[in-house]
Structures are given as structure tokens and as C-alpha cells.
Amino acid sequence: ETGVTQSPTHLIKTRGQQVTLRCSSQSGHNTVSWYQQALGQGPQFIFQYYREEENGRGNFPPRFSGLQFPNYSSELNVNALELDDSALYLCASSSGGVNNEQFFGPGTRLTVL
């Protein structure tokens, strides 16, 4: 176990709806990164939060947004869901820095119908 938790574990939504996914980082970590992993693919970087500020973003549209709280837990919000948003959403926490290890949570499986 990495100490990183995510909720919910599974979620089913319909097109056009909005979803919020949650991540609790490992104790002592101030950085949370979010990834989208489609079936059979490697994870794709969505964005990263460091000390409550967005610290880099991948190639995802603005309807993917996030938030980090003072306790360093984080949320990923997706508006106007599309079928292609169906994926495993992973969060990873770290203490920041280029060579620091990122610890992944178990993921949230989102299905959009």
C-alpha cells in the first residue's frame, strides 16, 4: 500500500454530466499529479498541483479542472463528460522535486455511457 487513497473506486456517468474524483496524498507529500489511463494505454499526464497551485498541465481541455486543499488532498473535476473520458484516473503524490518518487493511488474507474 502506498498510503495514497482515491474515491470512489468506480463510477458510472452519462454524457454531459459532471464528475468529481478525490485523492488523499501520502503523509508529508505536498504535490499531487493526476493521470488518465485509457484501456490498454499508458497513463497520460493531466495536471499537477503543488502547495494548492496548479504546477503544470498536459494536453487536456479546460473542462478538466482541479483543486488542492491545505491538507494537500486534491480533486479532479470533469465537466460535460464525453464517452472518451471513460478511463482509469490515477493520482500520485510526491514531495516534489525532479527525482522524487511518485506514489500512486489505486485509481478511480470512470465509465461514461
Partner 1 sequence: KNQVEQSPQSLIILEGKNCTLQCNYTVSPFSNLRWYKQDTGRGPVSLTIMTFSENTKSNGRYTATLDADTKQSSLHITASQLSDSASYICVVSADTDKLIFGTGTRLQVFP
Site for partner 1 in 34-53 (CB under 8 A): 35, 40-45, 48
Beta strands in the chain (DSSP E): 5-7, 10-13, 19-24, 31-37, 44-50, 53-57, 64-68, 74-78, 87-94, 103-104, 108-112
Enter the DSSP assignment of 19: E
**Among 106, 95, 101, 92, which residue's Cα sits nearest to residue 34?**
92
Largest CA distance in the chain: 39
Report the residue from 20, 69, 86, 109 that binds partner 1 according to the rule CB under 8 A. 109
Report the residue from 24, 25, 33, 74 that binds partner 1 according to the rule CB under 8 A. 33
Report the residue from 15, 56, 79, 82 that binds partner 1 according to the rule CB under 8 A. 56
Report the residue from 17, 77, 79, 100 that binds partner 1 according to the rule CB under 8 A. 100
Interface residues with partner 1 (CB under 8 A) are 2, 4, 31, 33, 35, 40-45, 48, 56, 58, 88, 90, 92, 94, 96-107, 109
